[in-house]
């Protein structure tokens, strides 16, 4: 039966910790899922959390560590000895073990590895630590079951039993040749419905999608999403099977990338959270605020260059916020669509085709809103016909230019290897504000002659 995390439960656990009722505390917690226990620890003080972690057995606490928030886990690891961390690592699969060890200092990392009792497990971890964490090599785990294509069905079943006994989960059976080159995968149905003397090479499925050990995490996420894969094998440069990546690892990649893109779009230069220090939050926010300040100063300078308009047509300045806002909004809309398409890997056609399509779309939108603003300006506000035409025409041009900038900039950044999500935030808004105001007053000056 699923148990709920309630305030009463938190209060009871805190009371048990205060009274050092270890047996009752262990009973109250150990039936929860590791993710729920991690959430419970998040509600406790740091000393209380350490007390609970040291109380529970390593098989459970190792899973809890993988579920903890990175900042909390970092603090927990600092309060555990190298031997205690090694005991936790011994219970984890290699991909999770590498994630935790990778957060340690080089000195403590070496100490922890030296305390790992399972030598083969330690060797696999050391092997994975040499890969960039954002590549297939850094994401994969070594735990998998593989059989050789020349084995018979009976030999295959015996070997599968031996290998599977070492792992908690078996996702799929891979088929390799004598040099460990990946040949395909083997289904349970094939094993059950063929003779015990049938060679595996006659029944395995050669159609298997794999990724290279150097492939980037975003590329792997796109592949697994496109082909609906729960697990994908990893091969090296000559096609040898070296590991596998499961869906849970890719979900973490997608989540981290989404958070990063959201923060870029919101104008944050670093990965921050609400409970980070004031200095960390300031460092993440201030660069974009400074950019916005310079953008505002640029817009003010442009308006100052058209100071004559104050005397002859002061009503023009009433529409300045609207022109700037529309330019910024359209630019963000266009860039957001392009960034989403780039992230999903489904952006089709050439740059020219994309710009023409965006031009057509922005022209339709611009005509609709420009007609609305003309009637508002002329019929409702009672401004001169010429002034209303200037506002409507300027809005049309600003929307088209903003849409083209919003389309071109993320594509350009992506070509240069820069995260295109940068183009969905204050950068695009500020640039379109400046362009919009300049276009507005330039058209006004040309048509009204001030």
- Structural domains in the chain plus CATH codes: 7-139 (1.25.60.10), 145-247 (3.10.580.10), 278-448 (1.10.357.20)
CA separation, residue 224 to residues 210, 241, 249, 258 (Å): 10, 18, 11, 17
* Residue 268 in tokens: 């944050």
Q: What is the pLDDT at residue 1? A: 46
Is 224 a residue whose pLDDT tops 60?
yes
Distance, in Å, from the CA atom of 74 to the CA atom of 77, rounded to the nearest integer, reads 5
Backbone conformation region of residue 382, classed left if phi is above 0, alpha if psi is from -120 to 50, else beta: left
CB-based contact 292:426 (threshold 8 Å): yes
Q: In this predicted structure, what is the pLDDT of residue 287?
A: 73
CB 354 within 8 A of CB 407: yes
Which of 287, 308, 329 lies closest to 436, judged by CA? 329
Secondary structure (3-state) at 268: coil
- When pLDDT is cut at 50, 70 and 90, the band that residue 57 belongs to is confident
Burial 428-447 (b: 16+ CB within 10 A, else e): bbbbbbbbbbbbbbebbbee
Q: Are 271 and 260 in contact (CB under 8 A)?
A: yes
| pLDDT 10s digits, 135-165 | 999 999 999 999 999 999 899 889 888 888 8
Range from 154-168, 205-219, 322-336, 337-351 carrying the lowest mean pLDDT? 337-351
Give the per-residue pLDDT at 262: 63
Half-sphere exposure at residue 401, Cβ-oriented, CA atoms within 13 angstroms: 22
Q: What would the two tokens of residue 215 be? A: 């492939």
Q: What pLDDT, in 10s, does the model give residues 386-404?
A: 889 999 999 999 999 988 8
Could you write out the DSSP letters of every residue in 96-116?
Answer: HHHHHHTTS-HHHHHHHHHH-
Which tens digit of pLDDT belongs to each residue from 414-443? 787 777 766 666 777 788 888 888 898 889
* Low-confidence winner among 162-171, 221-230, 300-309 (lowest mean pLDDT): 300-309
Q: Is 328 helix (H, G, I), strand (E, B) or coil?
A: helix
Phi, psi of 211 (to 5 degrees): -125, 155
pLDDT(315) > 90: no
Distance between CA atoms of residues 1 and 140, nearest Å? 33
At residue 176's C-alpha, the angle toward residues 171 and 177, to 5°, is 170
Residue 169, H or E segment: none
Distance between CA atoms of 66 and 41, rounded to whole angstroms? 13
């Amino acid at each position: 039966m699923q148990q709920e995390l309630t305030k009463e439960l938190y209060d009871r656990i805190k009371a048990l910790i205060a009274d050092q009722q270890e047996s009752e505390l262990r009973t109250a917690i150990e039936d929860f899922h590791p993710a729920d226990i991690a959430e419970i620890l998040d509600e406790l003080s740091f000393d209380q959390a350490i007390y609970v972690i040291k109380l529970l057995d390593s098989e459970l606490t190792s899973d809890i560590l993988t579920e903890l928030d990175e900042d909390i886990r970092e603090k927990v690891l600092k309060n555990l000895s190298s031997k205690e961390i090694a005991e936790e690592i011994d219970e984890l699969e290699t991909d999770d073990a590498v994630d935790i060890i990778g957060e340690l200092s080089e000195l403590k990392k070496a100490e922890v590895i030296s305390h790992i009792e399972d030598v083969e497990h330690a060797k696999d971890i050391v092997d994975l630590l040499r890969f960039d964490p954002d590549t297939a090599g850094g994401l994969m785990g070594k735990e998998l079951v593989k059989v050789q294509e020349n084995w018979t069905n009976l030999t295959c079943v015996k070997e599968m039993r031996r290998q599977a006994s070492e792992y908690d989960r078996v996702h799929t059976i891979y088929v390799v040749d004598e040099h460990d080159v990946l040949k395909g995968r083997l289904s349970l149905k094939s094993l059950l419905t063929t003779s015990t003397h049938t060679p595996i090479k006659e029944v395995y499925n050669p159609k298997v999608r794999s990724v290279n050990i150097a492939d980037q995490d975003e590329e792997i996420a796109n592949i697994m999403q496109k082909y609906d894969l729960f697990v994908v094998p990893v091969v090296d440069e000559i096609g040898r099977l070296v590991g596998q990546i499961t869906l849970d690892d890719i979900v973490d990649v997608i989540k981290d990338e989404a958070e990063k893109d959201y923060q870029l779009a919101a104008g944050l230069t670093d990965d921050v959270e609400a409970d980070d220090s004031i200095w960390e939050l300031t460092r993440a926010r201030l660069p974009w605020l400074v950019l916005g300040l310079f953008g505002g100063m640029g817009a003010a300078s442009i308006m100052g260059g058209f100071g004559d308009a104050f005397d002859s047509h002061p009503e023009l300045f009433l529409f300045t916020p609207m022109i700037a806002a529309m330019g910024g909004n359209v630019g963000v809309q266009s860039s957001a669509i392009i960034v989403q398409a780039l992230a999903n890997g489904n952006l089709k056609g050439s740059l020219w085709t994309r710009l023409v399509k965006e031009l057509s779309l922005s022209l339709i939108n611009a005509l609709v809103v420009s007609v609305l603003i003309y009637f508002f300006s002329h019929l409702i506000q009672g401004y001169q016909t010429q002034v209303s035409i200037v506002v409507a025409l300027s809005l049309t041009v600003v929307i088209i230019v903003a849409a083209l900038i919003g389309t071109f900039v993320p594509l350009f950044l992506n070509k240069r290897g820069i995260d295109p999500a940068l183009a969905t935030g204050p950068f695009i808004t500020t640039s379109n504000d400046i362009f919009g105001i300049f276009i507005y007053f330039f058209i006004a000056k040309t048509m009204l002659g001030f």
